[in-house]
With several copies, the nearest count.
Chain A
Amino acid sequence: MTPRTPRAKATSASAQPSYDTESATLLPTATPIQLVDAEGNPSTAETGNLPLPDDAALVRAHELMVMGRRFNDQAGALVRQGRLAVYPSSHGQEACQVAAAMVLGDQDWLFPTYRDTVAAVSMGVDPVQILLLLAGDWHAGYDPYEFRCAPTATPLATQLVHAAGLAYAAKVKGEDKVVVAMCGDGATSEGDFHEALNFAAVFKCPVIFLIQNNEFAISVPLSRQTAAPSLAAKGVGYGMPGKRVDGNDVAALLAVMGEAADRARRGDGPTLIEAHTYRMQAHTNADDATRYRTAEEVEPWVARDPITRSEAHLRSRGLLDDAAVADLKQRAEEMAAEMRLGIGKDRDLDPAELFEHVFAKPTPQLLEQRAQLLDELAREEATK
């Protein structure tokens, strides 16, 4: 670790950040960056001068999206069967989630939300383990260190600050680590969003903030969330570049995220990325979306599906054929079967574990309480 010198005292009025330049250069493009259009053809829209990612990456992304979609479908089915209490589906948002994971290397970290299970699975988290939260077994079902994937966060935007802090730790320890921190459009209204971006920018943390703007926060449309010209435009207020990207174009996402990851790795600090996508399903199965939007509103987004688009693109370029599609489908089915098996299985839950992890060492009070519970259970058992 390189020893750090104390920060210089503020020296003069000119120690102010330079007001005169930059602002405009930090603003996002007027329209989202797109590399592949909805039909799978090279985009004629704003490309941000970014080249298409290499073929292998595009194929890999497609595979992960297909797996992700199958994951979403299977989780939904498990809810209907009563195996999961609830599931926030990311159907339609697979491109964002896959890209978030793909730009990360072996040292890098992901900070996902409850809707980002496909991103977590793309990081390698076991599909069954990540569902244990929703199955009701325990809160976080996997080891965050094993997968460099923080527990999926429910309290909105809180995880963004953690992400910045972990990136800071990596920086001061001299580790080469990039962090992707994810949130939704609604979460951008929380104070923690603001504080996270500000800390990350002030300390030039190697972190990428990825907003999946799916136009809704439960029932609340984006127009109620902000009056900003775009969510990406918020970046300038922190002195970080804001990028807008077509959230259903995995090629564009890989390119924009990849650029931001390079920037972070170079030590140039954070980037704010707004991926414009759409929440195709209700907020969760417990939600009734017909109360606040019509089928006609959802309709146009079907044609913009990220997987259809990617398949068309890859097929047109000869990177995917029927055999590969069938093979992929097969692998996805295998994963789904594992999910059904894993979640369907009866798992022994030990009530004593309730007291085990509150502290590294249970307090005398917790030991008493555990003894009380075990005694109750023993008596119950005895009277059976």
Chain B
Amino acid sequence: MTPMPSAGTPSPRVEKITVMQALNRAMRDAMTQDENVHILGEDVGTLGGVFRVTDGLTKEFGERCFDTPLAESGIMGFAIGMAMGGLRPIVEMQFDAFAYPAFEQIASHVAKVRNRTKGQVSLPMVIRIPYGGGIGGVEHHCDSSESYYTHTPGLTVVAPSNPADAYHLLRAAIASPDPVIVMEPKRLYWSKAEVDLSRPRPGIGKAAIVRDGTDATIVTYGQSVPVALEAAEVAKREGRDLQVVDLRTLVPFDDATVMSAVASTGRVVVVAEAQGFSSFASEVAARVGERCFHSLAAPVRRVTGFDIPYPPPKLEKHHLPTVDRILDAVDSLQWEDQ
């Protein structure tokens, strides 16, 4: 562990960067260290991606960061072949809903190749998917598609919520011998934090308690984390002390951290943007109910998107989990039984 810089004298390594820059840096560092790391996708080259996450990488690494024909199934299948051939491809899907054409390649191959071949063929590849809403995007640009992937055995799924995690989880994803889906919090691409990227972080599979609290636990991930933290801030003023768990990784799920957090408060709200029905949030609620049944003082509540197609920009504010909606859920946790 790097020693903590002493207060008042910020380490020169501490810098203020955005999630986008952190992701970019992760790829750049990985590409510098390992010439087998290649990036492919639509507009990832000269343009640097429609969100500029791959900005400058083609300039620095040439065809190792390359534009493909416009065909997501092709991109995914091509990356599978590249990985079989000894490279470590990073695939960028331009938007969540535009990964759907690649669904067969993901579900029937990416997720299964290691298992089909008894571990003889591994697929070290990364699939980056900008997910979620709140950016005023029109239809097909704001889906929260993580549940399709978390339901598919063989896929590791991470969802960073801040620059440091974005950097480290993407580095870990690139280093993984297995395919990893990185759900990138689109709305947070431009959000900044002070980070020291040289300091290690918990790896894939570790949740983080990002706020301590004793009254109830909010379990969330990705771009819902700041909303949950804000809700906790408001609740504090209203006299309730909320704990916030940032899952960081959806698969494999960190049961240990979540269950001990829940046990400590006995009340739980799960927050996610995706439509709630049959979702990853359902899984969290079901697991908590199954494993912490006797610690629970109230039913697990879910604050998720409604079970509707993602709304048009002018109405999306009604769909997304808000501070108020989270607080309503917290209010409903049967405090009268205390």
Task: Select from chain A the residue with minimum beta-carbon distance to B87.
Answer: A169
| Given known contacts A5-B63, A86-B138, A169-B82, A161 and B73 CB-to-CB distance under 8 angstroms | yes
Whether the pair B309, A358 counts as a contact (CB closer than 8 A) is: yes
Quick one: which of B38, B50, B66, B139 contacts A154, CB cutoff 8 A?
B139
- Least distance between A86 CB and chain B CB atoms (Å): 7
CB distance from B3 to the nearest CB of A (A): 30
Which residues from chain A contact B10 at a C-beta distance below 8 Å?
A: none
A-B pair number, CB within 8 angstroms: 274
For residue B66, which residues in chain A have a CB less than 8 angstroms away from its CB? 7
Name the A residues within 8 Å of B97 (CB-CB).
Answer: 155
- Asked if B84 contacts A166 (CB within 8 A), the reply is yes
Q: Is the CB of A219 within 8 A of B45?
A: yes
CB-defined contacts of A170 to chain B, threshold 8 Å: 85
Q: Are B74 and A195 in contact (CB under 8 A)?
A: yes
How many angstroms between the C-alpha atoms of A64 and B82 in the bound complex?
31
Measured between beta carbons, the chain A residues less than 8 angstroms from B328 are 376
Assembly CA distance A225 to B45 (angstroms): 14
* Residue in A158, A168, A219 whose CB lies within 8 Å of B105: A158
Asked if B338 is at the interface of the complex by the 8 Å CB criterion, the answer is no
A266: interface (CB < 8 Å): no
Q: Which residue in B45, B71, B138, B139 is a CB contact (below 8 Å) of A189?
A: B71
Does the CB pair A168–B140 fall under 8 Å?
A: no
Bin chain B's interface residue count: 35 or more
For B116, give the chain A residue with the smallest CB separation: A139
Does B178 sit within 8 A of A, measured CB to CB?
Answer: yes
CA distance A374 to B96 in the complex (A): 29
Contact of B64 with A by CB under 8 A: yes
Structural contact, B77 and A158, CB atoms closer than 8 A: yes
Of the residues B70, B72, B115, B139, contact of A220 by C-beta under 8 Å: B70
A356 CB–B CB distance under 8 Å: yes
CB of A364 within 8 A of chain B?
A: yes
Spot the interface stretch: A17-25, A317-325, A365-373.
Answer: A365-373
Cβ distance A11 to chain B, nearest Cβ, rounded Å: 12
Q: Does A6 contact B (CB under 8 A)?
A: yes
B265 on the interface (CB 8 Å rule)? no
A373's partner among B43, B82, B318 (CB-CB below 8 A) is: B318
Tell whether A137 is near chain B: CB-to-CB under 8 Å.
yes
Interface of A is mostly: helix
User: B240 interface residue, CB < 8 Å from A?
Assistant: no
**Hey, which chain A residues are within 8 Å of B114, CB to CB?**
357-360
Binds A, one of B15-23, B161-169, B249-257: B249-257
Tell me if B202 counts as interface (CB < 8 A to partner A): no
Residues on B with beta carbons closer than 8 Å to the beta carbon of A287: 50
User: For the complex, is A156 an interface residue (Cβ under 8 Å from B)?
Assistant: yes
With beta carbons under 8 angstroms apart, the residue of A167, A218, A351 that contacts B315 is A351
Residues of A within 8 A of B325 (CB): 376
Given A162-B109, A189-B74, A224-B67, A359:B154 Cβ within 8 A? yes
Q: Contact at A169–B85, with CB atoms within 8 Å? A: yes
CB of A165 closer than 8 Å to a CB of B: yes
Query: Which of A160, A165, A199, A354 contacts B318 (CB under 8 A)?
Result: A354
CA distance A136 to B306 in the complex (A): 19
> Chain B 16-57 against A: per-residue CB contact (8 Å), 1 yes, 0 no?
000000000000000000010010001101111010000000
A20→B295 CA distance, assembly (Å) = 75
The reply to whether A164 and B253 contact each other, CB–CB distance below 8 Å, is no
Please tell me which one of the listed residues B71, B86, B121, B306 contacts residue A195 in the complex, with CB atoms under 8 A apart.
B71
Stretch at the interface among A66-74, A89-97, A142-150, A247-255: A142-150
B293 at the interface (CB under 8 A from A): no
Q: Closest residue to B76 on the A side, CB-wise? A: A161
Using Cβ atoms and an 8 Å threshold, which residues of chain A touch B141?
Answer: 154
Most buried by A among B70, B137, B140: B70
Q: Given A170-B85, A358-B154, A363-B205, are A165 and B78 also a contact pair (CB < 8 Å)?
A: yes
- Residue pair B104, A155 in contact (C-beta under 8 Å): yes
- Given A158-B108, A168-B82, A365-B307; A144-B73 close (CB under 8 Å): no
Q: Are B35 and A1 in contact (CB under 8 A)?
A: yes
Q: Please measure, in the bound complex, the distance between the C-alpha atom of A192 and the C-alpha atom of B252, giving whole angstroms.
A: 30
- Complex: chain A residue closest to B176, CB-CB: A360
Residues of A within 8 A of B324 (CB): 376, 380
Pair B47/A219 contact, Cβ less than 8 Å: yes
Type the 1/0 row for A324-362, where 1 means its CB is closer than 8 Å to any CB of B: 000000000000000000000000010101111111100
A360 x B63 contact (CB < 8 A): no
A contacts, CB < 8 Å to B: 1, 3-7, 9, 85-86, 133-140, 143-145, 150-151, 154-156, 158, 160-170, 172-173, 186-187, 189-192, 194-196, 198-199, 202, 217-220, 224-226, 286-287, 291-292, 349, 351, 353-360, 363-366, 369, 373, 376-377, 380
A-B contact pairs, 23 of them (CB 8 A): A5-B63, A85-B137, A137-B312, A144-B120, A154-B141, A165-B77, A168-B85, A186-B70, A190-B71, A190-B72, A190-B101, A191-B73, A194-B71, A217-B70, A287-B50, A291-B48, A353-B315, A354-B315, A356-B119, A357-B115, A358-B114, A365-B307, A373-B306
Apart from A6-B45, A155-B97, A292-B46, 11 more pairs, CB < 8 Å: A156-B70, A161-B76, A161-B78, A168-B81, A190-B72, A195-B73, A217-B70, A218-B50, A219-B43, A353-B315, A358-B308
- Nearest first, the 6 closest Cβ-Cβ pairs linking A and B are A165-B81, A161-B77, A169-B85, A195-B74, A136-B313, A363-B252
